[in-house]
Every structure is written in structure tokens, then in C-alpha cells.
Amino acid sequence: MSTGNGQQKNIFGFSTAPSTGADFTPIVKYDARAGRVFRVDRTQGVDGFTGEQVDITAMFRAVFDLENVEVGWMLFAAGQAPSMALAPLSDVTAGKAFPPEPSTLHKQGVRVLIKLAKACGGDKPVREIASVAKAFLGAMEQLYLTYLDEREKNKDPNGNYQLPVVSLLKTEPVTSGSGAQKSTNYRPTWKIDGWVPRPDDLIYMPAAASSAVAGAAPTTGSTPVPPPPDYSAPKHNLADDFG
């Protein structure tokens, strides 16, 4: 409920109050050139917002919402919000069309919502991780295939699918190109530590909500939708890391 002064209760475990002007899904960044995982914390200073990168590589652990992976086109340009044109991976694998390429500057990428464990989550543990780096995409593909292979045998006692708890096992250098074009990136190896029910605050929201193509007038929405599902689910011990 709103209080009398307009402040809101911390219902989701992270603030939803529109006090900052940029209170959108915070991110975790995988820097493929360094093989490091950073939590990007946005703070407001006198000159506007700045992103402080907190290295969480060593302690990285998160619930990955692999039930709702999105694939498509992304453009990360300096000084502007990311431009994404994405579709659910489940739709694409079911035969629906891959999203059209918004511009020649966009690259193919993957977006996943995650919830960081308490040890590395800061005050906003629910985040998105998205990348177009080949090193990242290859590792995500492997993780997703493992998820598909193992999710059947890791249902909860009521027969419901659970989500994997993922940590970063190691990173390995991958060199591409030659001569002046030669570059080294680091491919992560993700490891599934366990399975938990979907955390209450890990609520899937399509990136369509922020997918305006650079330069194009934003659409408003013409997709009729049914009532939303209820995400509440029983908890067990491993889930306590994300409570």
C-alpha cells in the first residue's frame, strides 16, 4: 500500500518507487574481454546517474530464469539505453519467426533474468544479464541445454518445474582472428549447483517493454493478454539463499 506521503512498501524485495527516474531492471554484466562478472549498481550523483561495477566473479551464484530465455537483436551503444528486439526462445524453437533485424548495427544476443544470491546480490538481487559476446552465448547455450536435459528429474515434490541455481566454475581464454585483428575473450563455464522453486520476486517480464528500435517511434501495445499467472511456490533449503 502507498503510505500517506507517497512512499511505497518494499513488496518485491527491491524498490519500485519512481524516485530515481531510471529505476528499471538492474543488470549483471559479463565482461568477456576480462572473464569477470560485474554487478552494475546505478547511483545518483550531482552529474546524474553513474554505474558502479562491483566485481562478483568469485562469489557469483544466481537463480537463472531459463524458463524464459529471450533471443533476438541487441544494440549496446554508448550514451543511450540498450535497444533490443527479442522473442522468447520457446517461441523461436517452436517454429515462430526470429525477430526482424532492427538495424545493421544490432547483433544477435540472449537475455535472461536472474536473481543473485544474498552474498553477491546487493540491495537489488533481481537483474537481467544480456550479451552479444560469442564467448557468453556459447556458454549460455551449453547451460540451457543442460537445463533442458535435467529439469525433468529436478521437479519439486508437487511435480512443478524448478529453476537452476548457477555458479561460475571457470573462465577460459578463446582467441579469434589473426594479426592486428587478433583478440582474446574469456568463455565462462556455468555450473548448476542445485534447483529451487521460482523465487517470488523473480517475475518474468518480456524485454518487449523496453525494446524500442533506435530511431523508431515506440509502439504502445496491441497484444491482448490473459490474466497473469501466480508465481508463488513452495520453498526449500537452497531457496533460502535467494529469500
Partner 1 sequence: MTIEYDHHSPSSCNLFAAAPAMWVAEKILGEKRPASASMHRGTATEAGVAHGLKDLKADLPACIKVAQSRYDALMALSPDARRTAYRGDLAPMVASGLKALRPYGEPSELQGRMEWKPDELKFPIMGFFDFKWAHKGALVELKCTEKMPSKIKVPHARQAAFYATSDNIDTRLTYVTPKKCETYQLENIREHRQALVNIAKTIERLLSESDDPQYFIDHTIPDLDSFYWSGPAARQMAYKYWGV
In the complex, the residues that contact partner 1 under the rule CB under 8 A are 1-2, 6, 8, 11-12, 16-19, 21, 23-25, 44, 48, 81, 126, 128, 200, 203, 205, 207-212, 218-232
Is residue 123 within 8 Å of 14, Cβ to Cβ? yes
Quick one: 59 or 203, whose CB is closer to partner 1?
203
Quick one: 58 or 205, whose CB is closer to partner 1?
205
Quick one: 162 or 211, whose CB is closer to partner 1?
211
Q: How far is the CB of 203 from partner 1 (least distance, A)?
A: 4
Which candidate, 183, 208, 216, places its Cα nearest to that of 99?
A: 208
Q: How far is the CB of 95 from partner 1 (least distance, A)?
A: 22
DSSP run (H or E) holding 29: strand 27-31
For residue 172, which phi and psi values (nearest 5 degrees)? Answer: -130, 140
Q: How far is the CB of 155 from partner 1 (least distance, A)?
A: 23
> Residue 46 gets which letter from DSSP?
T
What is the identity of the amino acid at 163? L
Q: How far is the CB of 202 from partner 1 (least distance, A)?
A: 9
Instruction: Return the C-alpha cell found at 54.
Output: 562491483
Quick one: 179 or 224, whose CB is closer to partner 1?
224
C-alpha to C-alpha distance for 146 and 162, rounded to whole angstroms? 14
Quick one: 80 or 175, whose CB is closer to partner 1?
80
Quick one: 8 or 57, whose CB is closer to partner 1?
8
120 Cβ contact partners less than 8 Å away, ≥ 6 residues apart: 39, 56, 59, 60, 61, 62
- The β-bridge relationship of strands 61-64 and 70-75 is unpaired
Q: How far is the CB of 82 from partner 1 (least distance, A)?
A: 10
Q: How far is the CB of 207 from partner 1 (least distance, A)?
A: 8
Question: Any idea of the CA torsion for 208, 56, 140, 144, to the nearest 10 degrees?
Answer: -90
